[in-house]
Amino acid sequence: MRQKKGGKKAYHHGNLAESLLNAVDELATQFGLEAVTLRGCAKLVGVSPSSAFRHYSDKRALLTAFATRALHQLSDAMATAKFQAHREGTNPFHAVGLAYIEFALEKPAFFRAMWREETIYSNDQNYIAAANELSAHLKGGFADTIEDKDPARFSPQELLAWSSVHGLANLFVDGPVAKGETKSQKLTEAAEMIRAMGPAFDNTSV
């Protein structure tokens, strides 16, 4: 990535759509999703608003693409955590749960955006596909780390796993838990919570 005179970032042709999503992340992390505008993202990237509007028709379309990318990245994070746990001989359920929470801590704007249907086009086909992909991970034995008898439905164990890690992630990102603590401290607390869930999965872990 080159730098224009005056300090603005210049993006190679073909990368503008992704660069605008990066700008959403930067603005939303600093000021909240409500502060994001298509013009503001264009300014941050260093292009004209008309260039931005060629990729996204309005703010809602921009946030839909942002939420879609977030869903894909969370799915990838869970799958990667499971793969690494198997390779290293560690507990895959613990690794997947911790990866979910770490994603929220590292990318709070992505985490907040994923299911905010009031700010996106929830009938967008790319968004639906990404949401279905993540849902398949969660319904599929929590990324295939616990026994799954029906991949089309949430079992009580799958619901317990998802609600626990999602709830703690939300409490870390937007709630009163662990305010002022470092990311490392929060992940330590998350690991302890996931271990405490162990008895509920003793007979269902894979």
Question: Residue 93: is its pLDDT beyond 90?
Answer: yes
Residues 143 and 99 in one domain: yes
192-201: long-range contacts at Cβ-Cβ below 8 A with a sequence spacing of 24 or more?
193/164, 193/168, 194/93, 194/94, 194/97, 194/98, 194/164, 194/165, 195/94, 197/97, 197/160, 197/161, 197/164, 200/157, 200/160, 201/93, 201/146, 201/157, 201/161
- Examine residue 83 and state whether it is found in any structural domain, yes or no: yes
Q: Are residues 72 and 132 in the same domain?
A: yes
Q: Are residues 43 and 120 in the same domain?
A: no
Give me the pLDDT at residue 14, please.
59
- Number of CB atoms found within 10 A of residue 89's CB: 7
**110 and 191 share one domain:** yes
| Residue 197 within a domain | yes
Residues 14 and 83 in one domain: no
Kindly state whether residues 164 and 68 are assigned to the same domain.
yes
Q: 100 vs 53, 72, 77, 125, 169, CA distance in Å?
A: 33, 12, 7, 24, 8
The CATH code of the domain that includes 39 is 1.10.10
Are 116 and 171 part of one and the same domain?
yes
- Residue 74 and residue 35 in one domain: no
Same domain membership, residue 48 and residue 75? no
Within-domain flag for 106: yes
Q: How many domains does the chain divide into?
A: 2
* Within-domain flag for 206: no
pLDDT at 206: 55
Same domain, 141 and 109: yes
Average pLDDT over residues 42-47: 94
DSSP state for residue 118 in the 8-state scheme: G
| Beta carbons of 21 and 69 less than 8 angstroms apart | yes
- The predicted model scores a pTM of 0.87
Same domain for 15 and 109, yes or no, is no
Residue 176 structural domain: 59-201
Beta bridge partners of 2: 10
Is 193 within a domain? yes
Tell me, yes or no, whether 98 and 79 share the same domain. yes
Query: Rounded mean pLDDT of 143-160?
Result: 89
pLDDT value of position 13 = 45
Quick one: how far is CA 179 from the chain centroid?
21
